[in-house]
Each structure stands twice: as C-alpha cells, then as structure tokens.
Structure 1
Amino acid sequence: MAYTLEQLRGFVAVAEELHFGRAAVRLKMTQPPLSRQIQKLERAVGAQLLVRDNRRVDLTAAGRVFLTEARRLLTLADAAPDLARRVSSGTSGVVRIGFTAASTYGILGRLLNELGRRLPYVDVDLAEMVTREQVAALAHREIDLGLARPPFDRDTFESRLLHREPLYVAAPAGHRLLALGRDVTADDVAGEPVVMHSPTKARYFYDLVAGVVPIPQEDIVHTVSQVLTMLWLAAAGRGIAFVPASAVRLPIEGVGFARLVTPVAEPVELHLLWAKESANPALARVLDVLDGFTVA
C-alpha cells in the first residue's frame, strides 16, 4: 500500500508539534481526519511511528527514522514543480560539451566561467575529443555542443564562429628563427625538420599548415595529434611545429614562438557546433549566453 504526500505532511506536523490538536490547527484541518491519515500511513509503512495516549504523543524509533526521510521526500516534492519549470525553460538542466584539447588554452575556461555566472543551474559535462569525434557524438546525441574546427555538414549542423587566432611557429630555444626579430615566412622555415599534425587525427591543422607552408615528406620527423605533444618535442630539439597562438600561453621551458605570415591574418578558427534537431532547452539558453562571447 502506498502513502500520500498529505499523509507525510500530516505525520511531519504531528511529529514536530507532538500534539494532534496543534498539528491539526497548523494544517488547517480537524483532528479526526488527521488521526485517520496517520493510521493509514502506519499501515502503509508497516510500522508504528507514533506512541500516543490521552496526555502525550511521542515518536517511536521507527518514527524518528521515518521523520528524516519524510522531510526529505516533502522537500523534493515541493521543489519538483519549480525544477520542471526551469528545465523546460532551459535555465536548469545539463549540457554536454565536447572540446578539442587546443580549445582549453585560454578559451574553454573563460567560456565555462561565463556559463557558470549566467546559468548557475545548468550543469556542464565535458568530454575532450577531436572534431571528427565531436561530429559523430553530436549526430548520436551523445553531446549537445561542440567546440570544433570546420568544415561542417551544413544540412545537419548549425555553427557559430567563436574565436579566430594566428598561426605561430614553435621552435627550440635559441633557434635561428627566433632571432630574426620579425614574423616568420614560409621561405624562412624551408628545410627545417618539422613535428607535423596528424593528417587523420588533426586533419584541420594538417590542411591549414599545408596550405601555407609546403613541407616535403622528408622534412617531417614526427606526426602527432596534440599541440602539447608538439611543444614538448620542439623543446627537446626534435624540430619546429606550427601551433595556434593560444599555445603561447603554455609555459613549456625550452620553447620559443614566432608568428607565421599567412594569407589570412588569423586563419585558425574555433566554432560552436550543434545539431539542428537538438531538443535540449538548456542548449538554447547556453547559445543565447554565448551570443557575442569573445576571448581576448
């Protein structure tokens, strides 16, 4: 037999007042129906919760334990309508965000701070994944929003440019490129050993760099997918690497940076990416908050 919220409220009132008359007044009802509520509740629970006689009312051991749980259930029940309204409006809920590793260099943290300030009741779940993985996760509704690199399928996804930045050359400390005192050109890096982006796992950066700097295959000494790995290899003297400007924030000892001359001043793009058919109300709120958001 199930019990009702009215029975729980009646029990809590009697347990706190330890008097049926005062509890009835508090609940704006008469004493007989309150007594019947408590009797039905005890039958439903299968245990005596109150000891009562003509002079006093007291809680049994079972009643004291049940009082704690009854208060918790009533708190949840009272909060449920407000929570449902907030979830429906998008001011509460969960948004799952996928991000590339390079987007954490000064961008992701500020974005999360903005969301935390403007949408305090929206929880954010994070998943690090390359753009290809984000696209698949969005298509399968495993994430709601991506911080990804173009291009995208415009029939399936909506996107919004979030950030642009230049390309830099990372080189071992003391390298001749760092002593030029100017931006580095494609001619300057000719013949240098290169730690290159993976053509499969980091296809965006691979294509971007290849479009600016023709790199013979024999000059590629390593192929990796993560910018941080590139910097450690450059610090070890394995070769130069081409990285987004945000990587300059990483305090890797033994690495210096010089801006690379490119046809477009800030060719590295990071986009917000989401599925057109998303039904998560909180995502719409997140996109509203991030409309116009910029990273200095």
Structure 2
Amino acid sequence: MFTFDQLAGFIAVAEELHFGRAAERLNMTQPPLSRQIQKLEKTIGTELLERDNRKVQLTPAGEAFLEEARRLMVLATRAPVTARRIATGRSGMLRVGFTAASGFSILGPLLEEIAEIIPDVDIDLQELVTGEQIQGLLTGGLDLGLARPPFDREIFDSHLLYKESMMLAVPSGHKLADLSRPIEDADISDEPLIMHSPTKATYFYDLVVRMFPIQHANVIHTVSQILTMVSLVAARRGVAFVPHSATLLAIKGVEFLPLAGMESEQPVELHAIWNRKVVNPALRRLLQDLEFRTE
C-alpha cells in the first residue's frame, strides 16, 4: 500500500513537472523523492511519469491517478478535523424521534434551537410512536425522543417540554357547538366516537378512559394518529378527544370544544427523553447548552 508521503511527492512532481523543484517544494533532496515515486509506481503496477534528462510528463495513467491522489490528500487533511469536531459535538449526526402530534406543535421551534446550538450537525428525523422511540433509544437507533410518558426513569433521563389540555373535536355545525359551556360527560353519551388505539396510541387511550366515561359501544373507529382522527371528524364520522395542539392542524370542517374539568387541568405531557448512557457527543453538547422553551 502506498503512503501519503508518496502521494504528496507524486502530486508535487506532477504539478512542477520537475524533480528538483518538487523536492525543493517538499523541503527534501531529489534522490529520496525519486525513490518515493518509484515505490509508488511499483505499488500501483504502472508508470505514472515519463522522465528523461530533459523533461518530466504525466502518462495517461498518471493523469488519472493525479485527480484521485489530490482527492485522497484532501480527505486525509479533513479527516482529523472532522474527527475532532465529532468528538466535541460540533459535527456528526443527531437522530431525533417524534410523535405525529409533536410534529405539528413543538418540533419546528425545537429544531430551530438545535440548529443554533449545533449548526453543523445533521438531524435525522423519524416519526415514531412512543413505544418505537423507546426501543430506538434502547438499541441506539435514536439519540433523542419527543415522546409521551411513562418510561423507565432509571434508564432514561427527560425534560418536560410542555403540558396541554384535552378538547373535543366535532364536525362544524354539530349541535354540541351550540352549547355555550364546556362539554360534559352526559352531552356525549350517545355520540359516535372516534377512539385512540389501545395498542398503538396507548398513552392517549389510557388517559381518555381514565378521565371520561367512555361508552365503548359508541366507538365506530379506532385509529393511532391525531391527524387521522381529526380528518375523520371533518368527514362527519363522529367526535373525538384530542390534545389542544390538534387545533394547529387547521383542518376545515372541524370545531374544537372545551371539556368540563379541563379549564385548569393539563394532563397531556410531552417529554424530551434520552438514554442516560449518552454516547453521541452532539447530544451531550446539546443537553449542556439547550434552553428548553418551557424554562
């Protein structure tokens, strides 16, 4: 295998087309430079230079190899710098998982803050439900998650990003929208209900059944994504319990009504979570500098 000294010697001779000037440029004498070029040609298996007593010129193979040699030297120069930047968290990749609901609420502002703190770090976004994010954080497939509780606090550290209330999404013009008060349990006892999936949207399912007397006989659709739920409400398929951030979707044909008991309560939580065994320097630097919007 050739060395970077041999590459540097070849590039100097190829650009100067003169062994004496190339040796002077490299602060060495001509004989060792000639030996470097000979070793390089032997390693490659072909002549790169044509030389006689009067001139030096590149062979066709030498012209092709010159471009590759320059590229290799640039990479060799850049590699230590890149390694140092990655080690200090100033370069590299940060893999962030997020739920669909966080995607239309806090994700944008949070990414702006991340970009200010670690501007040269590439961000890989992955839309995942909380359970998938937990698995990714355990296996190393994710560095940071924007997820719902619960999670194992012995394994994961976290920061509460925000809390919000639940609301009732109803089709525009629905009779419940005419009430000039928060919606009570009795108001929706006979309403067709679009419900959260107990397996794919466990957090919202558990929260809703804990807070409201759900008549499961009234459930006509079970879905996992808030966007799908609100879209079904717009299609007049039923009503749905959704977090307040769903109002940001601005889907036509839907009204969002306050729920009795939610005036001061904000049960819906979103956390930034990460494995306590942080190995990504970019995440470590982010956690040191990031001022979450809730602070």
> TM-score by structure 2 length?
0.92
| Conserved 8 A contact 1:186-1:212 | no
| Conserved 8 A contact 2:104-2:249 | yes
Match of 1:39 in 2: 38
Match of 1:11 in 2: 10
> Which 5+ residue runs of structure 2 have no aligned equivalent?
none
Match of 1:247 in 2: 246
Q: 1:290 to 1:166 in 2, by over 3 A?
A: farther
Q: 1:57 to 1:106 in 2, by over 3 A?
A: farther
Post-superposition Cα deviations, 1:196-232, rounded to whole Å, max 9, x if no partner, equal: 1111211111122223321111222211111111011
Q: 1:230 to 1:22 in 2, by over 3 A?
A: same
Match of 2:88 in 1: 89
1:243: Cα distance to partner? 1.3
Question: Between the two proteins, what is the percent identity of the paired residues?
Answer: 56
1:112: Cα distance to partner? 2.2
Match of 1:285 in 2: 285
Give the Cα separation in 1 of the matches to 2:20 and 2:112: 52
1:182: Cα distance to partner? 4.8
Residues 25-174 of structure 1: matches in 2 within 5 Å?
A: 25-174=24-173
Post-superposition Cα deviations, 1:65-86, rounded to whole Å, max 9, x if no partner, equal: 1111111111111111111111
| Conserved 8 A contact 1:115-1:289 | no
Q: 1:57 to 1:179 in 2, by over 3 A?
A: farther
> Which 5+ residue runs of structure 1 have no aligned equivalent?
none
Q: 1:265 to 1:5 in 2, by over 3 A?
A: same
1:266: Cα distance to partner? 2.5
Match of 1:274 in 2: 274
Deviates more, 1:97-106 or 1:107-116: 107-116
| Conserved 8 A contact 1:248-1:257 | yes
Amino acid at match of 1:247: A
Residues 160-199 of structure 1: matches in 2 within 5 Å?
A: 160-199=159-198
Asked if residue 229 in structure 1 is aligned to residue 221 in structure 2, the reply is: no
Asked if residue 210 in structure 1 is aligned to residue 196 in structure 2, the reply is: no
Q: 1:264 to 1:197 in 2, by over 3 A?
A: farther
Give the Cα separation in 2 of the matches to 1:19 and 1:123: 44
> TM-score by structure 1 length?
0.92
Asked if residue 21 in structure 1 is aligned to residue 20 in structure 2, the reply is: yes
Give the Cα separation in 1 of the matches to 2:183 and 2:18: 85
Number of equivalent positions? 294
Asked if residue 256 in structure 1 is aligned to residue 255 in structure 2, the reply is: yes
| Conserved 8 A contact 2:97-2:133 | yes
1:111: Cα distance to partner? 2.0
Q: 1:246 to 1:230 in 2, by over 3 A?
A: same
Give the Cα separation in 2 of the matches to 1:16 and 1:182: 83
Give the Cα separation in 2 of the matches to 1:185 and 1:30: 92
Q: 1:70 to 1:181 in 2, by over 3 A?
A: farther
Secondary structure of the residue that 1:195 maps to in structure 2?
A: strand
